[in-house]
Structure 1
Amino acid sequence: MRDEEPAENISGGTAGGGQSAPFDPETAGTRAETIVDRLGELYWTKTYGGRDAFECLVRTVLSQNTTDKVSQPAHDELMARYGSDGGPASGGDTDADLARALADADQPELAETISSAGLYNQKSKRIITLAQRICEEYGGEDGFDEFVREGDPDEVRSTLLDMNGVGPKTADCVLLFAGGRGGVFPVDTHVHRITRRMGLAPAEADHETVREYLERDVPAAKCGFGHTAMIQFGREYCSARKPACLDDPDACPLAGHCDQVGVYPASGDVVDPSETV
């Protein structure tokens, strides 16, 4: 196990939790758990929770349809201007409520602040709408944080999905990174691709079906790490167009656990697993 979390494993970030979670492939009860445990031998393992729920929601909205590399600066700029560190939009108040600051934000100014994240007009309007709802229904970020941490998980997820612009992955990320909820396995494009490519879920499965398979087959305490580790594995080894196994089977550390659905080393072709059905 590495001593430090890899820099690229940023879905949880340095604020995403802090307790190491040891995994052992020899004791895994399912194939999916074995793969997550093998990833635990590659990457720094941790449990998640503890992030501010509203900030986590904002950060996830910023990351939609873009990469962490470009959404992170947008998040940093937003927090510098509107966050509780006493930024200009907070009037220097270090106790400022982020949700209230964003609910009252000037939309063009917010759009300019988060412009590096792409789709900034759409995202700025979405963030302001979310902030206004959270202020109206929960009194601000503290009330929302309490709801996410202590509310019934199904009710929290349903409420999040009812919010404008919040899809299943965003809702699950808030439950995981803010609420610290066990058994939550957010499914992004990397997880969706890898799970079907490996044969852990049906080739034609949509994101929700993949989530159901993973949350069924991976122990609750390992789901959070499984999410972040699969993202990193997808970036390093199992990319959409050029998976490591395409030219050299030994180049992939999970080669012995993968069905290679949609990957054809003999011809060099790679297709989405759904196209093999």
Structure 2
Amino acid sequence: CIISQRMRDEVTYRVWDELFRKYRDIETIVKTPVEEMQEFLRKRGVGLWKTKGEWIVKASRIILEKYNGKVPDDVHELMKLPGIGRKCANIVLAYGFGKQAIPVDTHVNRISKRLGLAPPRVQPEKVEEYLRELIPRGKWIYVNHAMVDHGRSICKPIRPRCNECPLRELCPYAKGLVKDEDIK
């Protein structure tokens, strides 16, 4: 999740795979000098490699020492780890533990605002609160995946394909009621 911040998924998956082939377990990561991890990320084109390298080693150390090597499955405990904010914590809960959570990434933020599920000018951190009120808890885990897929194929950040969208009749954006410049 730390690697994925401000990165395309293709790069994230490639680097993640390489990282775990080279550093096979948490103990190995903890023993790795921060500078080595930073260089590993830099050579693979990871943005913010200095910060992310430090966070990966430090978060691994905390997980090993404080949580006996087990990633915590609580949003508040996860957010205590370096480099883990609300979005990453929810990604870990949803995709790592199968728990009901709504990770709000750029796709979820944009689509929620275009569809009128959240106010256009509300901070991205608040979008989760609106979605939690609107969507039944048993469906939260599906929101991110569905909106990411929709955002990549139809509701793109630039030149969205509103004419192909099955939601166009319901969508304030497709009707011209919400503009991209309105969305924060």
Identity of aligned residues (%): 31
Computing the radius of gyration from Cα coordinates, the structure with the larger value is 1
- Aligned alpha-carbon RMSD (Å): 2.1
Pairing partner for 2:55 from 116, 122, 126? 126
The equivalent residue for 1:103 is 30
What's the CA shift string for 1:9-43, capped at 9, x where partnerless?
xxxxxxxxxxxxxxxxxxxxxxxxxxxxxxxxxxx
Name which of structure 1's ranges 188-197 and 99-108 shifts more when overlaid on structure 2: 99-108
Amino acid at match of 1:99: I
Indicate whether 1:226 and 2:135 are aligned.
Answer: no
Distance 1:157 1:210 in 2: 17
Equivalent in the alignment of 1:80 = 21
**Aligned equivalents of 2:170, 2:103: Cα separation in 1:** 21
**Cα distance in structure 1, aligned partners of 2:80 and 2:143:** 26
Q: Tell me which residue corresponds to 1:241.
A: 158
Kindly indicate whether the alpha-carbon contact (under 8 Å) linking 2:173 and 2:179 is maintained by their aligned counterparts in 1.
no
SS in 2 for 1:243: coil
Cα deviation digits, residues 219-245 of structure 1 (max 9, x gap): 222212221110111111111121112
* Partner AA of 1:181 in structure 2: K
Can you give the 5+ residue segments of structure 1 that lack an aligned partner in the other structure?
1-59, 84-97, 149-155
Q: Give secondary structure in 2 for the equivalent of 1:257.
A: coil
Contact 1:195/1:210, CA 8 A, preserved across alignment: yes
Deviation at 1:168, TM superposition (A): 0.8
**Matched residue count:** 182
Distance 1:234 1:223 in 2: 17
1:255 pairs with 163, 168, 174, which one? 168
Instruction: Determine whether 1:209 maps to 2:153.
Output: no
Matched, 1:271 2:180: yes
Bigger relative contact order (CA 8 A; separation at least 6): 1
Which residue of 61, 81, 84 maps to 1:163? 81
**8 Å CA contact 1:197, 1:273 repeated in 2:** no
Amino acid at match of 1:114: L
The within-5 A match list for 1:89-100 is: 98-100=25-27
1:112/1:77 Cα in 2 relative to 1: closer, same or farther (>3 Å)? farther
TM-score, scaled relative to structure 1: 0.61
TM (norm. structure 2) is 0.89
Q: Deviations over 1:75-98 (max 9, x none)?
A: 011010112xxxxxxxxxxxxxx2
Query: What whole-Å deviation, never above 9, does each CA across 1:158-178 have from its counterpart, x for those lacking one?
Result: 122222221110011111112
Partner residue of 1:57?
A: none
Alpha carbons 2:75, 2:89 under 8 Å: kept: yes
Map of 1:33 onto structure 2 = none
The residue type paired with residue 128 of structure 2 is R
Aligned pairs for 1:14-29 (under 5 A) are: none
Question: Is 1:198 matched with 2:115?
Answer: yes
Q: Which residue identity lines up with residue 54 of structure 2 in the other structure?
A: K
Give the partner amino acid of 1:119.
L
Contact 1:187 1:207 in 2 (8 A): yes
1: CA distance between counterparts of 2:110 and 2:18? 32
